[in-house]
């Protein structure tokens, strides 16, 4: 047997949900240590596939060709090999089978069905740089500095921009101590802590596209069917308006209900916090309450004085040890901002969009039938309520659960609504880490939050912070994965839908999506048991997630390439344990980052409320250690004094 037989492996990265689809020659060895994987087997060169997880043994499994069959052989692994959900020591593999090794659920595709890897840029929906709204008409990428334009000026081609060159342009130049790029929740939390630590509002500038720091987040919540009365997937004491976390959202909501005479609900919230997650469902705050609390804190710290509208075009070091930001205030209206300490929290640069759905849109120019969950698509539910129909959901996670809940609510007005939920493969068991394992029901993997709770402030946070880059790969793979909140109402909706027949889960690989003469979508899939099938639906909702890689942001890509900055294994910014971009340090300034653009580093839950607060805490500690102007390290007395000011709604 020659070594020319190829198969394609496809899986979703456990930490990020991104697709991996390598094409490899047989035989293939799987394990977590490259040195333990054989270089040859039976005279054939082995394709060695590293799977970064502590649930994967050093040499876990071998896929080989034996007696005209493709077989997988367990190499004495600790956690076993699962084929189509059943543990096997040795098993023949058929086209379309799923192979689970640790947290990796891998689909096998034979050579006859393999296509060459797609080298086109990933399919995404970018945020409009002028409106901050998801815009499917935008091209995949736009360079941060475009040839042929006069801004930023030629001086920005240098490693260090002379400050005098900025003034020589005749454009407005402002100088300040602290600059927050993004002006979203990450910027707000950092600014809030600076104000609490003694920095005056006139020494801070936050540059972004919307005055409300939660504006983009709120829009994504509303688009993904989380209205103001619904609850977020966030902890009670994760309070972006309150660095102390007390009173928590549960206590505030309980007090509000108690004041209105709703004693039963008030005690319910307190019981949830006391008994979660073993004896009670985890408490999560209502989105409207969170946004209102941020409004209060923004007013208290003088956010309207700090915020400045602008689209940041480039970031550079200056020749005097500071940083320069080139930004546009309107078409043709440009300015510069120079600061000593810079905080980068730009959020998710784009929304993931499945390539086959992107191809459908481009072919039919149909932006009404095929939608992304993070786009405004209320018209879908309005039409379903009026006319009925079938919805095909792609992706399984918290957003898919919320979309299903919204359809369940629509069915109360029109029972002639059905749901097809297309998943790539079954989910027989949840991710494991040491002695803990997530529960799975109806192929949904459950967990209160998107990471284990100890990732925020417990032993898992400490473990990740101390880990080497390779160890971090394994830990994030073990802790990550596509999960949904273990809400009883969602589990009940799923079970009811299956038993009543209006909700159906289907597994398969999408081959193509087209439109029929009745303007319905036809999704061609390859299903393991039945071969090729057609799924007909009136609407398709893509609920696969967001994209935080640096190359999805023209600003970040230009910044990283200009200074040759290192990226971590997930393609995000490599930061120190205090979230500093060490390579950007100067003799007079420091630069920090926070949020989704830092995933893969010392902290797992970087895009959560508490994660943003933790990043701000350690960053401001770094500023205090560097004796940054105005920053006073909080102690028991000063912290309590600032909390009293917060409680009394007084300016810091």
What the block records as the tokens of 280 is: 């009670």
Q: 568 with 643, same domain?
A: yes
Q: 204 with 274, same domain?
A: no
Kindly state whether residue 135 falls inside one of the protein's structural domains: no
Question: Which position has the token pair 């993997």?
Answer: 445
Kindly state whether residue 474 falls inside one of the protein's structural domains: no
Instruction: For residue 205, report the phi and psi dihedrals to the nearest 5 degrees.
Output: -130, 130
Kindly state whether residue 361 falls inside one of the protein's structural domains: yes
Contact 620, 190 (CB under 8 A): yes
CATH code for the domain in which residue 600 is found: 3.50.50.60
Burial of 373 (C-beta count, 10 Å sphere; 0-12/13-18/19+): buried
In the DSSP assignment, the letter for residue 128 is: P
**52 upstream amide cis, omega within 30 of 0:** no
Q: 78 with 35, same domain?
A: yes
User: Of 506, 528, 547, which one is at a domain's C-terminal end?
Assistant: 547
Q: State residue 495's pLDDT score.
A: 96
Q: State residue 145's pLDDT score.
A: 54
Residue 207's H or E segment, with its range, is strand 204-208
Q: 260 with 298, same domain?
A: no
Q: State residue 435's pLDDT score.
A: 87
Q: 257 with 398, same domain?
A: no
Using DSSP's 3-state secondary structure scheme, residue 587 falls into: coil
User: Of 494, 525, 547, which one is at a domain's C-terminal end?
Assistant: 547
Q: Which of 339, 344, 251 is nearest to 293 (CA)?
A: 251
Q: 280 with 292, same domain?
A: no
Quote the domain boundaries for residue 213. 160-228+288-347+558-647
Contact 596, 590 (CB under 8 A): no
Q: How many CA atoms lie within 13 A of 45 on its CB side?
A: 7
Number of CB atoms found within 10 A of residue 4's CB: 8
Q: State residue 202's pLDDT score.
A: 98
Q: 337 with 387, same domain?
A: no
Q: Give the integer Cα–Cα distance in Å for 232 and 293.
A: 14
Q: Give the integer Cα–Cα distance in Å for 622 and 624.
A: 5
Q: Under 8 Å CB-to-CB from 104, ≥6 apart: which residues?
A: 11, 14, 51, 53, 56, 477
Kindly state whether residue 311 falls inside one of the protein's structural domains: yes
Q: State residue 635's pLDDT score.
A: 94
Residues of the chain falling short of pLDDT 50:
1-2, 119, 143, 146-148
Q: State residue 148's pLDDT score.
A: 47
Q: 248 with 265, same domain?
A: yes
Q: How many CA atoms lie within 13 A of 419 on its CB side?
A: 29
Q: 501 with 630, same domain?
A: no
Instruction: For residue 23, report the phi and psi dihedrals to the nearest 5 degrees.
Output: -110, 120
User: Of 497, 525, 547, which one is at a domain's C-terminal end?
Assistant: 547
Q: 325 with 424, same domain?
A: no
Q: State residue 119's pLDDT score.
A: 46
Kindly state whether residue 613 falls inside one of the protein's structural domains: yes
Kindly state whether residue 466 falls inside one of the protein's structural domains: no
- How many separate domains does the chain show? 4
Q: 422 with 505, same domain?
A: yes
Q: 389 with 429, same domain?
A: yes
Q: Give the integer Cα–Cα distance in Å for 558 and 549.
A: 13
Kindly state whether residue 583 falls inside one of the protein's structural domains: yes
CATH code for the domain in which residue 51 is found: 2.60.200.20
pLDDT digits (tens, 9 = 90+) for 425-484: 888 888 888 888 899 999 999 999 999 999 999 999 999 999 999 899 999 999 988 899
């Amino acid at each position: 047997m020659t070594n020319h037989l190829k198969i394609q492996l496809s899986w979703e990265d456990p930490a990020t949900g991104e697709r991996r689809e390598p094409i490899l020659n047989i035989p293939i060895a799987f394990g977590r240590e490259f040195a333990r994987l054989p270089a040859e087997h039976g005279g054939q060169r082995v394709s060695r596939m590293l799977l970064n997880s502590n649930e994967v043994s050093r040499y876990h499994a071998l896929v080989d060709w034996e007696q005209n069959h493709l077989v997988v052989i367990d190499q004495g692994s600790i956690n076993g090999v699962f084929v189509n959900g059943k543990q096997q020591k040795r098993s023949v593999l058929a086209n379309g089978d799923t192979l689970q090794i640790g947290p990796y659920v891998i689909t096998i595709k034979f050579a006859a069905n393999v296509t060459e890897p797609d080298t086109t840029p990933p399919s995404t929906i970018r945020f409009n740089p002028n409106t901050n709204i998801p815009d499917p008409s935008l091209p995949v990428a736009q360079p941060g500095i475009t040839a042929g334009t006069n801004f930023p000026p030629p001086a920005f081609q240098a490693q260090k921009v002379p400050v005098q060159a900025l003034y020589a342009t005749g454009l407005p130049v402002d100088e300040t101590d602290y600059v927050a790029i993004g002006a979203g929740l990450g910027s707000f939390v950092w600014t809030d802590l600076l104000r609490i630590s003694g920095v005056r509002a006139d020494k801070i500038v936050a540059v972004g596209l919307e005055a409300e720091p939660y504006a983009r987040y709120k829009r994504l919540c509303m688009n993904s069917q989380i209205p103001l009365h619904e609850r977020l997937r966030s902890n009670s004491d994760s309070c972006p308006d309150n660095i102390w976390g007390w009173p928590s959202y549960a206590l505030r909501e309980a007090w509000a209900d108690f004041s209105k005479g709703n004693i039963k609900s008030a005690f319910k919230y307190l019981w949830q916090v006391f008994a979660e997650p073993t004896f009670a469902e985890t408490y999560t705050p209502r989105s409207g309450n969170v946004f209102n609390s941020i409004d209060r804190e923004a007013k208290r710290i003088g956010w309207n004085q700090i915020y400045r509208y602008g689209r940041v075009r480039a970031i550079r070091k200056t020749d005097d040890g500071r940083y320069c930001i080139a930004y546009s205030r309107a078409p043709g209206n440009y300015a510069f901002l120079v600061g000593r300490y810079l905080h980068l929290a730009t959020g998710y640069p784009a929304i993931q969009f499945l390539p086959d759905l992107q191809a459908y849109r481009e072919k039919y120019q149909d932006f009404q039938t095929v939608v992304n969950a993070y786009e405004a698509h209320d018209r879908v539910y309005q039409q379903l309520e009026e006319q009925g129909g079938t919805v095909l959901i792609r992706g399984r996670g918290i957003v898919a659960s919320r979309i299903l809940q919204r359809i369940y609510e629509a069915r109360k007005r029109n029972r002639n609504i059905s749901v097809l939920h297309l998943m790539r493969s079954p989910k027989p068991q949840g991710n494991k880490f040491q002695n803990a394992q997530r529960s799975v029901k109806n192929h949904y993997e459950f967990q209160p939050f998107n990471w284990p709770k100890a990732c925020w402030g417990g032993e898992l946070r400490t473990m990740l912070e101390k880990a080497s880059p390779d160890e971090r790969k394994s830990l994030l793979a073990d802790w990550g994965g596509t999960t949904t909140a273990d809400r009883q109402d969602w589990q009940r909706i799923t079970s009811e839908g299956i038993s009543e027949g209006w909700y159906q889960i289907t597994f398969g690989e999408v081959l193509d999506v087209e439109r029929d003469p009745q303007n319905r979508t036809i999704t061609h899939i390859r299903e393991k048991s039945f071969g090729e099938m057609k799924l007909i639906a009136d609407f398709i909702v893509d609920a696969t997630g967001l994209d935080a890689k640096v190359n999805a942001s023209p600003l970040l890509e230009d910044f990283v390439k200009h200074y040759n900055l290192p990226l971590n294994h997930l393609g995000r910014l490599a930061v120190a344990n205090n979230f500093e971009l060490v390579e950007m340090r100067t003799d007079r300034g420091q630069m920090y980052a926070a949020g989704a653009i830092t995933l893969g580093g010392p902290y797992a839950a970087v895009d959560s409320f508490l994660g943003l607060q933790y990043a701000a805490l350690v960053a401001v500690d770094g500023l205090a250690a560097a004796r940054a102007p105005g920053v006073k390290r909080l102690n028991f007395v000063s912290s309590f004094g600032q909390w009293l000011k917060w409680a009394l709604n007084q300016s810091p």
